[in-house]
Amino acid sequence: MTTTTAVRAAARVVGAVKVYGGGDTAVHALDGVDVAFPEGRFTAIMGPSGSGKSTLMHCAAGLDTLTSGAAYVGDTELGSLDDRRLTLLRRDRIGFVFQAFNLVPTLTVAENITLPLDLAGGRGDPEWIDALVDVVGLRDRLRHRPCELSGGQQQRVAVARAFAGRPEVVFADEPTGNLDSRSGAEVLGLLGDAVRRTGRTVVMVTHDPVAAAHADEVVFLADGRLVDRMQSPTADTVLDRMKAFEVRS
């Protein structure tokens, strides 16, 4: 007898609707999206400009609120939380990597990595953080400040910072947007390596088929709706799918 084990979702949205404005000028950024991001997987969100991909990430991460529907991190519905509890959830259970590195220039690499933990009044797990330093390849840069690092190295610090508190899910918004192709490939490889070696979950918004090819799965949005999912993507298959959207539009 064959048995299957359901994969738990690290984050998901159900019937997600997000409307900006009202009346004739209302914009439906999300129009009834149902999507789950499985634990221990690297998922990319893609779609044409204006498709709602950044809105989906922001609502799934609790950075924005849905007009209707529900967003969950694990089994916690974000809409049921007051501002304080939502802030604590984002701090304790979610990591973020943005296009801008958002490092504190006066702090060292080591201090930037542990900054969220320090602000929360905790030390975290020293062994976990030490292992992360090796994953991101920054062992010889811990005493340097951001101005002494390349862009790719700074984003490596941001990745380590995002994982430092053992979050259930890390959301990455165009994490290679400010990097050259070589540095970008290194950071994307690092995100995939972090998923495999730490069992964490990564959800990444990107417009780049080459970046999306680093993910385990790509979900495609168009006009605020989920229109396709692709397992084991390659740059060519993703590009072909994106071209189909352009032809349709």
Rounded CA-CA distance 169/77 in Å is: 15
The pLDDT of 226-231, averaged and rounded, is 95
| Cα 166 to Cα 120: distance, rounded to the nearest angstrom | 14
Nearest-CA neighbor of 241 among 225, 226, 230?
230
| pTM of the full structure | 0.92
How much is the average pLDDT of 228-232?
A: 94
What is the rounded average pLDDT for all residues in the chain? 91
Name the H helices within 143-234.
Answer: 151-163, 181-198, 209-212
Using alpha carbons only, how large is the chain's radius of gyration in Å? 18
pLDDT of the residue at 245: 74
pLDDT computed for residue 155 by the predictor: 93
Q: Residue 194: what pLDDT?
A: 87
Q: Which phi and psi (to 5°) does residue 185 adopt?
A: -65, -35
* Rounded CA separation 98/206 (Å): 11
Sequence ranges of the domains in the chain? 39-48+85-248
Q: Residue 159 and residue 183: Cα distance in Å, rounded? A: 13
Confidence of residue 3 (pLDDT cuts 50, 70, 90): very low
CA 79 to chain centre: 20
Give residue 239's pLDDT.
Answer: 92
Instruction: Give residue-wise pLDDT tens across range 82-93.
Output: 999 999 999 999
Asked if the 39-48+85-248 domain carries CATH number 3.40.50.300, the reply is yes
- Packing angle of the helix pair 151-163, 181-198 (nearest 10 deg): 20
Task: Identify the band that residue 4 occupies on the pLDDT scale cut at 50, 70 and 90.
Answer: very low
Number of other CB atoms surrounding residue 114 within 10 Å? 20
Quote the pLDDT of residue 203. Answer: 97
Query: Does pLDDT of 17 surpass 80?
Result: yes
Decide if pLDDT at 25 tops 80.
yes
- HSE-up of 219 (CA within 13 Å, CB side)? 24
Q: For position 117, what pLDDT does the model report? A: 87
Mean of pLDDT values over 205-233 = 95
The reported pLDDT for the residue numbered 143 is 96
Contacts of 92 (CB under 8 A, 6+ apart): 120, 165, 167
Residue 2 predicted with pLDDT over 70: no
Between 2 and 169, the more confident residue is 169
